[in-house]
Structure 1
Amino acid sequence: MTAPGCRIILWRHGQTSWNLERRFQGTTDIELTEAGAAQARRAARLLASLKPDAIIASDLKRAAATAAELAAVTGLDVTHDEGLRETYAGEWQGLTHEEIIDRFGEQYAAWKRGEPVRRGGGELETEVADRAAPIVLRHAEKLPENGTLVVASHGGTIRTTIGRLLGLESHHWESLGGLSNCCWSVLGRGARGWRLLEHNAGTLPEPVLGDDD
């Protein structure tokens, strides 16, 4: 059982050349651009001030390199796990947004409607959550009271993991907006389970002060 007051920071990797070209990366192992590495260094300085207790990351280069920047300023080790990789999307991988719509228009539309779709013959979003969410929870359970876990991963994997941890039905996961490069979302352990405290943040979270806290 995760200790009270714990936080999970789900951190998307920095910019890659395929991000700029709007190509679906999936499990293709693309490196950070120079700008992406700079994004990771900046974000790492901010996240380090939240005093994380542990860092886990996808083993793909773009996420691993992002996590390494936080490790460098905190002195923490990074635990890499292939279960935190981005969604495998088969024939979609390497295609631009426009090419996907042109070649797989009906499949794309069904996915956007929230239907269970194996994009390009790849994984279902629920299968991504099945592999990623338990890894995150397993590491969160090791945290001390009020501890913080940072998870360096990928946009699609982070969205499905958040949806699963919040107990949302899978067809609602798309309502969680995407993460910008090197931005993060924060989940906090509340009395009734996990709560979404911050989403697509790029600056330090502020405490919630008000009637809703």
Structure 2
Amino acid sequence: MSGVNGLRRIVLWRHGQTAWNLENRFQGTTDIELTDIGRAQARRAAGLLARLDPFAIISSDLRRTRDTAAELAAVTGLDVTHDEALRETYAGAWQGLTHEEIMARFGEEYAAWKRGEPVRRGGGELETEVADRAAPLVERAAEKLPPGRVLVVVSHGGAIRTTIGRLLGLPPASWESLGGLSNCCWSVLGESVRGWRLLEHNAGSLPEPVIGDDV
């Protein structure tokens, strides 16, 4: 399926469900695998995304994204390029803790993050630093697309949000307003004469809630 007027599109696809998502536990760069439900989510979503006739697939190198991307590769015959630049935000001492545990141990830091202040959660990365590594990789991959073709990026909730914010040229303080992605749902950016624009956000989600959006 070619894009309208030969314009390129980027599909940013969040990985399937993990046990830590269900436990509301911060994953960050911890290498957690998919649940059986997560693998089923990936297979279902792959069937839908394959209908876009993607040209290329790039993915974070963590297991939950590798295994999600593999489902789309299986139905399209495409190879997947894995890159650590697409990993989730490194959250240092917060990783492995639930939100309740983080509030108990790092209350002021957690409150500042929730207020939208730039915070190195657990001594980890700033959201702008995640965008600094992920967004250029996505842009370079998109530049290689022929006119009208689709790039699928398999990544994580927080990393996808920061990448979208950077590609749309939004100020970092507003990135949170994009909202979260449900497991194995996606957002679509389309090329325009003014740069990238948001065409769809959290597509494929209804009626599922957003669980563990950026953990």
Q: TM-score range by the shorter chain?
A: over 0.9
CA distance in 2, matches of 1:79, 1:172: 30
TM-score by length of 1: 0.93
Alignment map for 1:23-102 (pairs within 5 Å) = 23-102=25-104
The letter of the residue matching 2:86 is: L
Partner of 1:170: 172
Q: Which runs of 5+ in 1 are unaligned?
A: 204-213
SS of 2:52's equivalent? coil
Q: Which residue of 2 aligns with 1:190?
A: 192
Q: Does 1:15 align with 2:21?
A: no
Q: How much has 1:40 moved relative to structure 2?
A: 0.1
Deviating above 4 A after TM superposition, structure 1's stretches of 4 or more consecutive aligned residues are: none
Choose which of 109, 113, 117 in structure 1 pairs with 2:111: 109
For 1:209, the equivalent position in structure 2 comes to none
Quote how far apart the aligned CAs of 1:127 are: 0.2
* 2:74 partner SS: helix
CA distance in 1, matches of 2:190, 2:137: 17
**Deviation of residue 30 (structure 1)?**
0.2
C-alpha contact (below 8 Å) 1:4/1:189 kept by paired residues? no
If the length of structure 2 is used for normalisation, what is the TM-score? Answer: 0.92
State the match for 2:211 in structure 1. none
Structure 2 unaligned regions, length at least 5? 206-215
Are 1:161 and 2:163 matched, yes or no? yes
Shift of 1:4: 5.6
Number of equivalences: 201
Q: Deviations over 1:132-183 (max 9, x none)?
A: 0000001000000011000000000000000000000001001010100000
Deviation at residue 115 of structure 1 after TM alignment: 1.2
Give the letter for the 1:73 counterpart: V
